[in-house]
Amino acid sequence: MHILEVIKKEVVEGIDRLYGTKPDEKQIQFQKTRKEFEGDFTLVVFPFLRISKKGPEQTAADIGEFLTSSISVIENFNVVKGFLNLKLTNSFWLNHLNTILIDASFGIKKPDSSGKTLMVEYSSPNTNKPLHLGHIRNNLLGYSVAEILKANGHKVLKVNLVNDRGIHICKSMLAWQKWGNGATPEKTNIKGDKLVGNYYVKFDQEYKKEIAKLISDGFTEDEAKNKAPLLEEAREMLRKWEAGDKEVTELWKTMNNWVYAGFDVSYKKLGVDFDKVYYESETYKLGKEIVLEGLNKGILIKKEDGSIWADLTADGLDQKILLRSDGTSVYMTQDIGTAHQRFSEFALDNHLYVVGNEQNYHFQVLKLVLKKLGYDWSDNISHLSYGMVELPEGKMKSREGTVVDADDLIDEMVNTAKETSLELGKLNNLGEQEAAETFNMIGLGALKYFILKVDPKKTMLFNPQESIDFNGNTGPFLQYTHARICSIIRKAKDIGIVVPESVSMDSAIKPKEQELIKLLADFGNAIEEAGKLYSPAVIANFIYELAKEFNTFYHDFSILKEENVELKMFRLAVSQKVANVIKAGALLLGMNVPDRM
């Protein structure tokens, strides 16, 4: 049992004995004691004043006296207004450290120990363009949240839904037909997803020309957008595809395969993976069947033009189209089919969609439509709604080709890591191959940490230069701290010192040493909180605080030069565990940390 649970039970018992009434356990709030005061944990006593009928200082003093007499590991207490600061004994922290040292996977629960099966969908790219900076945040968030949920003891399935059909895909196909001149990735030496993306941009350029011409001929902007010949051709291509037209289907397969090959390269570079990949082209038909069944049951409505809708006005929403008048489906249709397929395949306790906040309404509607269609498991759908990634120069637009390509960004990050490291002389002692691997590790670590340290719900500004800094709240700072500790451990081994698995000490643990132990002890709590909030930022900021505290400790105390052998072994053991926790936390973010820098 965690010490705070022990103290909480004694607080209930103490208040009952002191004042004759048991408090509600929810009123018992602990927080870490602020650094300017003496203590380890602080109890807020204001909620108990109605029971004690005394002032906050006297109430805190009464409870403090009771706790010090009933719990042996509470050394003393002090009162600051309505806050009771409790200080635990030296032996408690030493024993707690040994518990942490012995547990090789401290803070991380055993796989499947929760008994829950969770699914996390992320990436979900369209096959009409390469991955860009927005996709990077999506992939990094999804992968990290899945790893954090695993560390909370859940069975987790990481899945990708490829949006491989629809009008946007047909736009790229049509543009390639018209202006491609038989171009292929092999002939052009252009990565497949980028080649297809170029034709998506080309479609938009030519489409805008047609709109401008129609407007000059007297049409309104809306009429021009709807009547443009290119859009009509793309719509006709979509109808042919859904009807199984051989020529259209063959072109679709060919161009999608170009894109998949390109995606695989990007995923490998980024270090993300999936347990299963779903394709919209394989799930939208099931969605259509479910929609038609809902229409037959009178749950959905058909309009005069033949389109099928869900009327959600009674629920405070609007009407949502599920099938167009020409029978073609929309995103919502395939999401209905995909959700049904997944909950049928797996006994899911929860399904988390990692999708940007511009789709908040979409998922609100999806849950409600599924509920109306009679699927109770719709209550087990969650949406991790994350903010957009912006650049100093503003928003990105795929159609206009103003996106930051994922591959280009990764390459730029690795190159910047190399330049910065060489400039600072950080990796001069490494061989060529190890240095190249470390540059890659630093560049990707900088990218991942910079994105994941921000609360997912917040829109963020990405600054590549700022992310590669060996000082401050950055990936390279964490990596350098880990490498520094590894260097200390190597030097210890070189002189015949083996880091002990447990430690003992007669002298008192100093406050800075105790602070490191306290932080280490909080790793499991950070993982739990990150899992509840679906927020890798909790882990990122935890390991940053730990690394920062270690560097203060390293600056203030000798480790290998410490003459007291007992103290030297204690500090080495703490240092080794700090490195292990930084590494474990970084892996939850999808980051690797080098042993040498």
pLDDT of residue 390: 79
Window from 296-305, 355-364, 387-396 with minimum mean pLDDT: 387-396
Banded pLDDT at 99 (limits 50, 70, 90): very high
Q: Report CA torsion sign: 402, 406, 412, 416.
A: positive
- Radius of gyration over every alpha carbon of the chain, rounded to an integer in angstroms: 29
Report the pLDDT averaged over residues 180-194. Answer: 96
Structure tokens at 104: 């090789």
Judged against a pLDDT cut of 80, whether residue 362 lies above it is answered with yes
Q: In this model, does residue 426 exceed pLDDT 80?
A: no
- Residue 245, pLDDT above cutoff 70: yes
Predicted pLDDT at 404 = 80
Task: List the structure tokens of 296.
Answer: 């037959």
> Which of the four pLDDT bands, split at 50, 70 and 90, describes residue 334?
very high
Q: Calculate the CA 218 to chain-centre distance.
A: 50
pLDDT of residue 429: 78
Is the model more confident about 79 or about 329?
A: 79
From 396, 324, 329, select the one nearest 358 (Cα to Cα): 396
Q: At residue 233, what is the residue type?
A: E
pLDDT band at 396, cuts 50/70/90? very low
Q: Please tell me whether residue 80 adopts helix, strand or coil conformation.
A: strand
394: pLDDT strictly greater than 60: no
The two structure tokens encoding residue 590: 């999808």
Tokens 């590790």 found at = 441
The answer to whether the CB of 592 falls within 8 A of the CB of 442 is no
CATH superfamily of 122-296+322-390: HUPs (3.40.50.620)
Q: What is the DSSP letter of 405?
A: B
3-88: CATH topology is Gyrase A; domain 2 (3.30.1360)
Task: Enter the tokens of residue 414.
Answer: 């690795």
pLDDT of 395 above 70: no
- The pTM assigned to this predicted structure is 0.90
Q: Categorize the per-residue pLDDT at 472 as very low, low, confident or very high, splitting at 50, 70 and 90.
A: confident
Read off φ and ψ for residue 111, nearest 5 degrees.
Answer: -55, 135
pLDDT in tens, 548-563: 999 999 999 999 999 9
User: What pLDDT score was predicted for residue 468?
Assistant: 75
pLDDT tens-digit profile of 490-510?
Answer: 999 999 999 998 998 878 888
3-state SS, residue 467: helix
Burial 380-408 (b: 16+ CB within 10 A, else e): bbbbbbbbebeeeeeebebbebebbbbbe
How does the average pLDDT of the chain come out, rounded? 92
Determine how β-strand 117-121 pairs with β-strand 74-80. Answer: unpaired
The HSE-up count of residue 129 (CA atoms within 13 Å, CB side) is 25
Residues 6+ apart with CB under 8 A from 375: 339, 340, 343
Decide the pairing of beta strands 83-88 and 117-121.
unpaired
28-39 pLDDT, tens digit per residue, is 999 989 988 999
Residues 6+ apart with CB under 8 A from 390: 459, 460, 461, 462
> CA 233, CA 213: separation in Å to the nearest integer?
17
Options 3.40.630.30, 1.10.730.10, 1.10.10.10, 3.40.50.920; which CATH number does 406-588 get?
Answer: 1.10.730.10
Give the pairing type, strands 308-311 and 117-121: unpaired
Per cent of the chain over pLDDT 90 is: 81
pLDDT, tens digit, 9 for 90 and up, residues 50-61: 999 999 999 999
For the ranges 282-296, 327-341, 410-424, the lowest mean pLDDT is seen at: 410-424
Tokens standing for residue 556 = 């203030």
Domain boundaries, the chain: 3-88, 122-296+322-390, 406-588
Tell me, rounded to whole angstroms, the distance of Cα 443 from its chain centroid: 19
Cβ(407)–Cβ(265) under 8 Å? yes
Task: Round to whole Å and give the CA distance between 210 and 28.
Answer: 68
CB 37 within 8 A of CB 80: yes
Q: What per-residue string of b and e applies to 125-142 under the rule 16 or more CB within 10 Å gives b?
A: bbbbbbbbbbbbbbbbbb
pLDDT of residue 402: 52
Candidates 7, 52, 54; CA nearest to 28 is 7
Tokens of 153: 């003891």
Residues 293-300: what's their mean pLDDT?
A: 96
Contact (CB, 8 A) for 253 and 285:
no
Helices (H), 352-431: 360-372, 406-424
Contacts of 56 (CB under 8 A, 6+ apart): 45, 46, 49, 81, 82
